Amino acid sequence: MDAIAIQSLDAFLQRVPYVRYLGMRVELAGDEMTAVLPFADHLIGNPVLPALHGGVIGAFLEMTALAQLALAQPARRVPKTIDITIEYLRPARPQETYARAILRKVGRRVANVQVEAWQDSRSSPVAGMTGHFLLRTDR
């Protein structure tokens, strides 16, 4: 990927106000995109543990899927979410969180995407998501 691709992807993400609230960014290495959610105090949902809010994790996973679709098909409009299923596997501690998306199937109208989020080790995910997205080609 080149600098133009990352600028285009950043511009896509910055159009979403909640992405700006989260502070989410993406990093590209070769053909792999990794989404990064930096820790911030306002993302805490359970101050007793402490742990990141489940809604923060869910939004981070969904935005990672949309970013991966935007990277794969930059000419299309932003896909609409049909449905998502989130698996919360363990509490996400107050630290930087990472995610990667896999495009399982991208058809003419619908895409199936899986996302996995982790903190210290990719082999110990904190959450996963499967989502279906409506691809729109109309301008």
SS3 label, residue 24:
coil
More confident residue, 19 or 74: 19
The CATH superfamily label for domain 3-134 reads Hotdog Thioesterase (3.10.129.10)
Return mean pLDDT, the chain: 91
58 — pLDDT class (breaks 50, 70, 90): very high
E runs forming strands in the chain: 25-29, 32-37, 44-46, 51-52, 80-88, 97-106, 110-118, 125-134
How does pLDDT run across 66-121, given as a tens digit for each residue? 999 988 887 678 899 999 999 999 999 999 999 999 999 999 999 999 999 999 99
Instruction: State pTM to two decimals.
Output: 0.91
Q: What is the 3-state secondary structure (H, E, C) of 48-76?
A: CCCEECHHHHHHHHHHHHHHHHHHHCCCC
- pLDDT at position 11: 78
Residue ranges of domains in the chain? 3-134
Mean pLDDT for 119-131 is 97
**Residues of the chain above pLDDT 90, percent:** 70
- pLDDT at position 138: 61
Mean pLDDT for 7-26 is 86
CA-derived radius of gyration, the chain: 15
CA distances from 24 to 32, 87, 92 (A): 17, 20, 15
